[in-house]
Amino acid sequence: MQNHPLKYLRLLSEKYPSIQAASTAIINFTAELQLPKGTEHFLSDIHGENEAFQHVVRNGAGSILRKIDEMFGNTMSKQERRNLATLIYYPELKTPMMLQTVPDKDEWSRLTLVRLVKFSRRLSAKYRRQTVRNLLPKHVSETIEELLYDQEGVEHKAAYYQSQIDTIVSTGSAQTFITNLAELIQRLAVERLHIIGDIYDRGPGAHIILDDLMEHHQVDIQWGNHDILWMGAAAGSEACIANVIRFSLRYGNMETLDNGYGISLLPLASFALETYKDDPCELFIPKVAADSSFTSQEIRLMAQMQKAMAVIQFKLEGQLIKRRPHYQMQDRLLLDKVDYARGVITLNDIEYPLLDTFFPTIDPNHPDVLTAEEQGVVDKLRLSFTNSKKLQQHARFLFSTGSLYLIHDGNLLYHGCIAMNEDGEFKSFNVDGKMFGGKEFLDRVDRLARQGYFDTDNPERKQYGMDAMWFMWCAPQSPLFGKDKMATFERYFLADKATHTEKRNAYYTLRDTEQSASKILREFGLDPDSGRIVNGHVPVKVAKGESPIKANGRLIVIDGGFSKAYQRETGIAGYTLISNSRGLLLAAHQPFESTQKAVSEELDIDTETEIIHTHPFRLRVRDTDRGRVIQEQIDELQALLNAYREGLINEHSRQ
C-alpha cells in the first residue's frame, strides 16, 4: 500500500466500484499484454502532398496488398486482388464504379462483403474486441462485430452468418458496410502513426493532411521547421507570418492560406500594387510549373506581393534580432549593411552589387522600421491569422499531439538535429549566463513554443515564446533548422552563388558515426545497444547512392522526398519506416500520380521494402511502452483489490 496511498485508491474506486469490477479489469489488461505488438508507421517531410500522403496511409505502405496476395492468392486472379485492394483504399469512390460494371450487383456485393469480413478477421486477431469496437461507427458496430466473431463452422452459425450478409444486401446497405469494413481494415493495418515533422509548405494540402490526422485513431507528431513556422504564425508572431506568406507566394502555393484557412491577402495585394506598380519585380517571379493555371497578370501580382512581403520580413526579423541579442544572429542584420545610394552590400568585408536596388519603403537611416502602410498591412494579416478558426484548430492539435522530440519504445524521434560542435560535443546556448545543450536545450525551446501560443496573461512572456518559434525556424542553433544561416536575402539579391551557401551543422556529418548516434541516445537516457534514432528534415539522395540507414543501423533518415520538389534530387517519393511485432522494415515509395488514377486505373504506389532488423522473438504488448503503462494500471488495480478485501475501502453501493 506504500506506493498506492488510500487517497489515490479511493479515487480509482470511483471508476472500479467493486471487487468484481477491479478483478475484471485486471483480467482484461493482463490478457492484453499477451497480444502481439501493433504495427506502427513513421512518415516525415510530407510538405503538403495530401494525395500521396493519403494513399500511403490508406494502403498501409503497401502492406494491405501484400496481405491480400497472401490470403487470396490461390482463389482470386491478380486483377481481382488489385480491384479488392483499390476498393479498400477508396471504398467511397471505387464501390459505385464497380457496381456499374458487374452483371449482378447483389452477387458482387455479397462476395465483396464476405472477402472484406474474412480480411478484417485476420487483421483484428491482434486486437481486443473493445479496441475493434471503438474503431467502428456506432450505427454498424454491432452487426460488423457479429460478422467478425461469428463461428461459421459451428452448427446453425453458417446460416446465421449468411443471413446477415443477405440482409445487408437486400436492405440496400451493402455500400455502407463495404465502406465501413474497408475503413476498418485501413485502421487495423496500422495501429499508430508517427509524423516526424514538416507537414506544411511546398504542396497544396497541408490543411487537408491535418484534418486527416485529427481524425486518425492514434497519432503523434514531432514538429518540423515548417510546422513551427505556421504554429508561430497562428500564435501571432509577425516575423513568422511574414515568412509563411512570402514562402507561399514564392512557390505559388496559395491553396492552404486561401481555401484552407481563409487568410485574406487583399491588404497585401493592394499595398503591393500601389508601392511596386512600376517595378518589374523580376527577382520575385514565383517558382510555379510551366503548365500552371496562373495567368501572366496573376504571376506579376504574386511577384509584387512577394517583394513587398520580403522587405517587410527583413525589417521584422531585424527588429527581432536586435530584441534578442542572445540569439547571436547579428550577422543577419543585412539591411544595415546595404549602401542604398550605391546599390551594394558589404558582407564579411566583401562588397557585392545588388541585383535589385528599388526599395521605396526603406529609410537608410532606420532600415528596420516599417512604414505606416506596411504596419497597417502587418496588423491586418496578424488579425486574419489569429482569427482563422481552422488554423487555430490545427495549431492546438499540433501542440497537443506534438513535441520537438519523442522517446518511444526505447527509440528517439525528432525532425532536425541535436546541434553539435565539430569535436562531437553538444553545442551549448547561453541564456542569461546559463548554458543549455542537448536534451536540456530541446526541453527549453519546446516549453517556450507552448508559452508563445498559450500564454495570454503576460504579453512580454508571450512575445518571448513567439520569438523562440521564429528562432527554431531559421537560427543556426535551432534543433529544427541546423544550418549557419537562412540565405533568403542573398538568394534574392546577390548573383554570387557562394553567398547562397547554407552550411549544415556538424551533426549532419557526425550522425553517420555510431559513436555520435550512441552519444545522442545516451543523452536522452536510452540504451545505445538497442535504441535507434528516427530522423527527417534532410532528403536522402538515393539516386546518388546515399543510404537512409546510418551509424551502423543506430540512425534512420526517413525523408525520402515526399514533396515533388525534392524527387528529382532523391530519386524516390518518400519512405515509410514500419515497426511491427517481428522487426523493422523500410518501405521506399515511387512517385504517386493522382487519386483519380489510383481509383480509375488502379495505379498503386510501387513500394520496395527492406528488412532492417528482425527481433529475436515476437514482441508483445508487454514489451512496449504501452505495455509498461498497462502493467502500472494492473498494479494499481491489484492494490485497489487488496484494499477492498482488507476492508480499507468499501465497495460502492449499487445504483
DSSP of 318-377: HHHHHH-GGG--GGG--GGGEETTTTEEEETTEEEE-S----TT-BTTBTTPPPHHHHHH
- Does 330 fall in a domain? yes
Helix or strand run (H / E) with residue 630: helix 625-645
Same domain assignment for residues 90 and 31: no
Q: In the chain, what percentage of residues exceed pLDDT 90?
A: 81
**C-alpha pair distances (Å), 383 with each of 237, 386, 465, 558:** 11, 5, 18, 37
Residue 614 in any domain: the answer is no
Residue 364 makes CB contacts below 8 A (sequence gap 6+) with: 338, 340, 341
Distance CA 573, CA 564 (A): 7
Grid cell 469494413 — which residue? 181
Measured CA to CA, the distance from residue 341 to residue 378 in angstroms comes to: 27
CA-wise closest residue to 240 among 378, 137, 129, 359: 378
189, 215, 239 - which closes a domain: 189
Instruction: Please name the amino acid found at residue 415.
Output: H
How many CB atoms sit inside 10 A of residue 339's CB?
12
- Domain match, 325 and 441 both: yes
C-alpha cell at 402: 506534438
Q: Both 259 and 329 in a single domain?
A: yes
* Residue 158 grid cell: 453458417
| DSSP-assigned letters across all residues of 111-132 | HHHHHHHHHHHHHHTTS-HHHH
The reported pLDDT for the residue numbered 602 is 77
Q: The pTM is what? A: 0.92
Cell of 347: 558582407
Q: Is residue 111 part of a domain?
A: yes
Give me 86's grid cell. Answer: 483499390
> Is 151 inside a domain boundary?
yes
Residue 223 DSSP SS3: coil
Phi, psi of 222 (to 5 degrees): -105, 120
Low-confidence stretches of the chain (pLDDT beneath 70): 1-2, 150-156, 543, 565-572, 605, 653-655
Shared-domain flag, residues 266 and 372: yes
- For residues 401 and 219, the answer to whether their CB atoms sit within 8 Å is yes
Tell which residue, 390, 43, 58, 60, has the closest CA to residue 210.
390
Going by C-alpha positions, the residue among 611, 604, 222 that lies closest to residue 446 is 222
| Among candidate residues 239, 192, 189, the one with its CA nearest the CA of residue 85 | 189
Strand order of the β-sheet with 338-339 is 338-339, 344-347, 350-353
Domain count, the chain: 3
The reported pLDDT for the residue numbered 567 is 67
Cβ count within 10 A of residue 632: 11
H or E stretch including 74? none
Asked whether residue 234 falls in the same domain as residue 334, the answer is yes
Q: Do both 235 and 332 map to the same domain?
A: yes
Residue 538 C-alpha from the chain's centroid: 15
- 16 three-class SS: coil
The domain boundary, picked from 493, 526, 544, lies at: 493
545 in a structural domain: no
72 and 182 both lie in a single domain: yes
Does residue 173 form part of some domain? yes
Does residue 326 sit in the same domain as residue 282?
yes
Output the pLDDT for position 1.
Answer: 47
Within this chain, do residues 254 and 382 fall inside the same structural domain, yes or no?
Answer: yes
**E strands along 567-622, which residues?**
575-579, 583-589, 607-614
Dihedral sign, CA of 468, 516, 623, 633?
negative
Q: DSSP H helical segments within 42-128, as ranges?
A: 50-58, 63-72, 78-89, 91-99, 105-124
- pLDDT, tens digit, for every residue of 128-173? 899 999 999 999 999 999 899 866 556 667 788 889 999 999 999 9
CA torsion sign for 611, 612, 614, 618 is negative
Question: Domain containing 73: what range?
Answer: 61-189
Query: What's 512's DSSP letter?
Result: T
Residue whose entry in the numeric block shows the C-alpha cell 497578370: 297
- What would the grid cell of residue 304 be? 509584387
For residue 488, give every residue at least 6 positions away whose Cβ sits within 8 Å of its Cβ, in sequence order, or none.
Answer: 310, 313
Let me know if residue 535 belongs to a domain.
Answer: no
* Separation CA 467–CA 448 (nearest Å): 9
Do 362 and 240 belong together in one domain? yes
293 shares a domain with 175 = no
Contacts of 629 (CB under 8 A, 6+ apart): none
Residue 51, in any domain of the structure: no
What three-state secondary structure class fits 90? coil
Mark whether 242 and 323 lie in a shared domain.
Answer: yes
Residue 174 in contact with residue 109, Cβ under 8 Å? yes
Burial (CB count within 10 angstroms: exposed 0-12, middle 13-18, buried 19+), residue 417: buried
The pLDDT assigned to 609 comes to: 84
